[in-house]
Amino acid sequence: MTESPVALSVSEVTSLVKGTLEGEPALQNIWVRGEVSNFRRPSSGHLYFTLKDDRSRLRAVMFRSRAQAVTFQIEDGLTLLVRGSVSVYEASGEYQFYVEEAVPAGQGALYLTFEQLKAKLEAEGLFAQKRPLPFYPRTVAIITSPTGAAVRDMISVTRRRNPTVNLIIIPAVVQGEEAAPSICQAFSDAQHLDADVIIFGRGGGSLEELWAFNEESVARAIFASRIPTISAVGHETDFTIADFVADYRAPTPSAAAEVAVPELRSLRETLTNLMGRGSLALKRRVTHHRDRLRLLVQSPALTQPDRLLRERRQRIDDLLQRAGSQAAAALEKSRQRLQVATAKLDSLSPLATLARGYAICTREDTREIVRDANSVRQGDRLLIQVANGTIPARVTRRTDKDGNVPADEVKQAQLPL
């Protein structure tokens, strides 16, 4: 009988296909260009559409969290440049493109170049250097077009805020093919000036018009500047590579001038306020020390030194007398403790026992104490220690506690000598 082949379920096959697609690097985090069709936005906020070209179609989905970042209107017929990954929607078994980011194809190439250069320069550390701006610059260099509205705005704001600041305008082309080399040359020229800060930028415009400030050469010229820099490119919503490299980004050219140049009137008011506060603090300090000096001059230590010395001398005498009394009491207490300890030692001393008529008997040769009469024999030599000396002795006979001579001693006495 032929065995039935092992069969996979539809879900298992779909899961295998999904795993294969998601494990393929060539299908993950890629850019795709296509025309939008069948676009719809349901109440969930997700975007569903089809990307097509003249030969194929690709279903795409952009979830609400990503779709909220889209700043333009997506509609059928629009050509998009989208970034995302290919996977499988298991419920229908269809593969589709999951979109993470979308830009109009007309700006897509520039946008992609912008993102790639941004990632490269950030990895090199060009965005990490942020130097503090000078508090009171005497000279401000401005790199911009000498005929644009931006330079007029910056000059007007600077003159209004602080007419004593010296402005140096360094002309530069800020749009077109010649813009990047011109801006780089302007930064090179600025390094030879005695400027405290550099403002560079221009008025607003399209991505293409602002593109000179996205060039790598301009970014490196800004980073190489020994003078702190302020970026003032376009409007508040415009971001360029130069903004990330600069030490400070201002939303507009006018705002850059306000950041760089402190308002003279405000500085004078602050200085006047600080001088007043300093003068008041100094007066308070002088008054405080004058009062302390007056108290010191009036103190008994200076007006009646003899009285103070007498009081201190009497205090010393009292302390010495108290110390002597405490020392005598401690000495007497120690003497009493010593007498008690001596009495305890005397009561435990073997000499006291001997003084009461007792004796200590030891063997003469080994100095071993004799504790049992049966441990000695006739002829043994002993030492008998009494209170005032030692008596040598020789055993001639021994008896038990009743005074009887032990049998072995009797037998030994009967033996002929």
- The SS3 assignment for 177 reads coil
The answer to whether residue 321 scores a pLDDT higher than 70 is: yes
Under 8 Å between Cβ of 248 and 230: yes
What's the pLDDT at 412? 57
Question: Looking at the DSSP assignment, which residues form a beta bridge with residue 230?
Answer: 199, 248
The domains found in the chain, sorted by start residue, are: 10-107 (2.40.50.140), 125-265 (3.40.50.10550), 355-407 (no CATH)
- Tracing tokens 């600025």 back to the chain, one arrives at 190
SS (H, E, C) 296-318: HHCCHHHHCHHHHHHHHHHHHHH
The answer to whether residue 74 scores a pLDDT higher than 80 is: yes
Q: How confident is the model at residue 192 (pLDDT cuts 50, 70, 90)?
A: very high
Mean per-residue pLDDT for 40-68?
A: 92
Q: Mind listing the pLDDT tens digit for each residue in 304-315?
A: 777 778 878 888
Q: How confident is the model at residue 43 (pLDDT cuts 50, 70, 90)?
A: very high
User: What is the enclosing helix (H) or strand (E) of 323?
Assistant: helix 305-348
Pairing of strands 381-386, 360-363: antiparallel
Q: How confident is the model at residue 379 (pLDDT cuts 50, 70, 90)?
A: confident
What's the pLDDT at 4? 64
What's the pLDDT at 62? 95
Q: Which residues contact 256 (CB under 8 A, 6 or more apart)?
A: 154, 199, 201, 230, 231, 232, 250
What's the pLDDT at 417? 43
Q: What percentage of the chain has pLDDT greater than the value 90?
A: 42
Q: What are phi and psi of 11, to 5 degrees?
A: -65, -40
Q: Mind listing the pLDDT tens digit for each residue in 242-259?
A: 999 999 999 999 999 999
What's the pLDDT at 108? 61
**Calpha distance 360→72 (Å, rounded):** 121
Average pLDDT, the chain: 86
Q: In sequence order, which ranges of 27-165 are alpha helices (DSSP H)?
A: 64-67, 105-124, 149-161
Radius of gyration of the chain (CA): 55
Tokens of 193: 């000036």
What's the pLDDT at 410? 58
**Calpha distance 400→8 (Å, rounded):** 112
12 torsion bin: left (phi>0), alpha (psi -120 to 50), beta (else): alpha
More confident residue, 114 or 400: 114
Q: How confident is the model at residue 98 (pLDDT cuts 50, 70, 90)?
A: very high
Tokens of 115: 């993102």
Q: Which residues contact 307 (CB under 8 A, 6 or more apart)?
A: 300
**Calpha distance 28→106 (Å, rounded):** 23
What's the pLDDT at 140? 96
More confident residue, 263 or 173: 173
The pTM assigned to this predicted structure is: 0.48
What's the pLDDT at 388? 86
252: buried, middle or exposed (CB in 10 Å: 19+, 13-18, 0-12)? buried
Under 8 Å between Cβ of 260 and 161: no
Strand locations in 338-380 (E): 360-363
Q: Mind listing the pLDDT tens digit for each residue in 271-299?
A: 778 888 888 889 899 888 888 888 887 77
Q: How confident is the model at residue 415 (pLDDT cuts 50, 70, 90)?
A: very low
Q: Which residues contact 197 (CB under 8 A, 6 or more apart)?
A: 133, 134, 137, 140, 141, 227, 228, 229, 230, 260
**Calpha distance 65→71 (Å, rounded):** 13
